[in-house]
């Protein structure tokens, strides 16, 4: 059996999702039609939340997709890629998203809206 490497693609990320501590959508952006309807998307989001919100790991394989995630107090950040996607690439996207939002919100260790000293 000859296995050919996957062709490089700009579509490394299939979805970016942010959920609250109840598993409800705060933000979701899907970049392909793996889950074409909002109903299917929300069912998938509930499924990943139920599988990941009680674990300390950072990577999961779910429904044939690679899911990397990070939680902070009461928010859950997910980056979704295909099953053959490099987890390190997906984790880099997740960390960039998390760090960017933390910087924009002047994250100080809690998501309660407290600003850093000198903030406006």
What is the value of pTM for the model shown? 0.78
Quote the domain boundaries for residue 67.
Answer: 13-105
Domain assignment present for residue 8? The answer is no
**Vertex 99, ends 12 and 32: CA angle to 5°?**
25
- Distance (Å, rounded) from C-alpha 29 to C-alpha 12? 14
Note the pLDDT tens digit of each residue in 46-99: 999 999 888 778 898 888 999 999 988 889 999 999 988 888 999 999 999 999
Number of domains in the chain: 1
Beta bridge partners of 71: 76
Identify the CATH number of the domain in which residue 43 sits: 3.30.450.60
Domain assignment present for 50: yes
Q: In the predicted model, is pLDDT for residue 111 greater than 80?
A: no
The Cα 65–Cα 22 span in angstroms is: 22
Answer whether residue 3 is part of any domain.
Answer: no
Asked whether residue 110 is domain-assigned, the answer is no
Q: For 8-58, what is each residue's pLDDT tens digit? A: 556 689 999 999 999 999 999 999 888 999 999 999 999 999 998 887 788
More confident residue, 6 or 94: 94
């Amino acid at each position: 059996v000859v296995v050919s490497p996957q062709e490089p693609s700009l579509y490394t990320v299939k979805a970016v999702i942010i959920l609250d501590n109840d598993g409800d959508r705060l933000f979701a952006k899907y970049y392909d039609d793996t889950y074409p309807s909002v109903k299917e998307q929300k069912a998938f989001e509930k499924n990943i939340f139920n599988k990941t919100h009680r674990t300390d790991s950072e990577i999961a394989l779910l429904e044939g997709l690679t899911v990397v995630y990070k939680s902070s107090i009461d928010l859950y950040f997910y980056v979704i890629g295909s099953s053959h996607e490099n987890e390190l690439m997906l984790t880099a996207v997740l960390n960039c998203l998390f760090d960017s939002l933390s910087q924009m919100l002047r994250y100080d260790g809690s998501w309660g809206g407290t600003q850093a000293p000198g903030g406006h």
